[in-house]
């Protein structure tokens, strides 16, 4: 059986949910779906616990989880601007909480 779907614009990525090319803001994360790949630019402002950190840009703050290996042996201060790429994790229990599971850290 053949099904028809809406035509795709030639410049529109078919897998845009899996690719994080565009830098988003922390404030825009609440509009996205769970497991969306995101790219954020900002600063690590606080170490929390168990590889979790507070990440801040001009629009807000979100918890990010960065595995030790993803730091690539480099240290950062709260003055360093970095770009992180990872998957948005939305937890609804007991209330809606956002976290980004970071796959890659890019340094300026």
Annotated domain spans of the chain: 37-107
- Comparison of pLDDT for 9 and 85, the residue scoring more: 85
Say how far apart CA 35 and CA 18 lie, in whole Å.
9
Per residue in 13-63, pLDDT tens? Answer: 666 555 668 999 999 999 999 999 999 999 999 999 999 999 999 999 999
pTM above 0.85, yes or no: no
Say how far apart CA 45 and CA 61 lie, in whole Å.
9
Burial of 96 (0-12, 13-18, 19+ CB in 10 A): exposed
What per-residue confidence (pLDDT) applies to 45? 98
Topology adopted by domain 37-107: OB fold (Dihydrolipoamide Acetyltransferase, E2P) (2.40.50)
- The distance in angstroms from the start CA to the end CA of the chain is 50
């Amino acid at each position: 059986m053949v099904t028809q779907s809406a035509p795709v614009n030639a410049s529109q990525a078919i897998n845009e949910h899996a690719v994080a090319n565009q830098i988003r803001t922390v404030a825009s994360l609440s509009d996205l779906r769970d497991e969306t790949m995101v790219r954020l630019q900002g600063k690590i402002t606080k170490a929390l616990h168990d590889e979790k950190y507070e990440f801040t840009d001009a629009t807000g703050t979100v918890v990010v989880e960065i595995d030790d290996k993803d730091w690539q042996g480099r240290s950062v201060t709260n003055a360093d601007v970095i770009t992180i790429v990872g998957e948005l994790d939305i937890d609804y229990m007991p209330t809606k909480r956002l976290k980004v599971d970071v796959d890659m850290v890019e340094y300026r």
